[in-house]
Amino acid sequence: MNIFCIGRNYVEHAKELGNEVPEEPVIFIKPHTSLLKDSSSFYYPSFTKDLHYECELVLKICKQGKNIDENEARGYYDQITLGIDFTARDVQNELKTKGLPWEKAKAWDDAAVVGRWKSLAVDTDCENIGFTMIKNGQPVQKGNSAQMINSFDKIISHISIYFSLHPGDLIFTGTPAGVGSCVVGDVFEGLYENESLFNLKVN
């Protein structure tokens, strides 16, 4: 199982981190070991002093494919949830400055959190899905798939140019503006429209 992630897929988020808006999707991968298995056992990692949350819509692939046409991409995912792409921002900034890969900042054990899966009906309007990240009872990120630079179908098509997709693969589709630091004791809740899909405490 592979976990693909898209970076800088919302204009306002790219700007808040001082990044340029990319011309094509930015792709990075987290290993299967980065998937948090038990939502009650997330711990603040020892190697960072600036752990950031990034709430994202996450797709699950249901069909094997390679070089998938954008017009046919909808047939390759059938479940969706909300997740957190946890990022050691201080580590990432240092790596970016040196032009080095991001894995130490984003691909560590438990850095990928996913909520409860929902099946995605074929007639769901995937370009108008609203979601909210709640931190300690206050909304900190509000996003909608309508704001994404690259749609789900565009992302699937682009990833599949380079990587074959397989059932069970996950795709983190990027985070909207409002990312920020967290500390031990913070509690995060992800709302898909108005439905709570995850609840996570930083231990």
**In this complex, which beta carbon is closest to Zn ion, that of residue 54 or of residue 153?**
54
Q: By rule CB under 5 A, what string of x and - marks binding of each residue 110-139 to Zn ion?
A: ------------------------------
Length of the chain: 203
Give CA angle at 141 (27, 20), nearest 5°.
40
Rank residues 141 and 175 by Cβ distance to Zn ion and give the closer one.
175
User: Could you tell me which stretch among 59-67, 125-133, 160-168, 170-178 binds Zn ion (CB under 5 A)?
Assistant: 170-178
Query: How far apart are CB 88 and Zn ion at their closest, in Å?
Result: 12
In whole angstroms, how close is the CB of 71 to Zn ion at the nearest point?
26
Please name every residue paired with 195 in a beta bridge, in sequence order, or none if there are none: 192
Q: Other CB atoms closer than 10 Å to residue 2's CB: what's the count?
A: 17
Burial of 31 (0-12, 13-18, 19+ CB in 10 A): middle
Residue 14 within binding range of Zn ion, rule CB under 5 A = no
Binding segment toward Zn ion, per CB under 5 A, in 15-23, 50-58, 95-103, 193-201 = 50-58
Strand pairing report for 170-172 and 3-7 = parallel
Whether 177 and 19 have beta carbons less than 8 Å apart is answered as: no
Indicate which single residue of 85, 153, 169, 189 sits in contact with Zn ion (rule: CB under 5 A).
Answer: 85
What does the alpha-carbon distance between residue 154 and residue 159 come to, in Å, rounded to a whole number? 9
Residues that bind Zn ion (rule: CB under 5 A) add up to a total of 3
Does residue 92 bind Zn ion (CB under 5 A)?
A: no
Binding site for Zn ion (CB under 5 A): 54, 85, 175
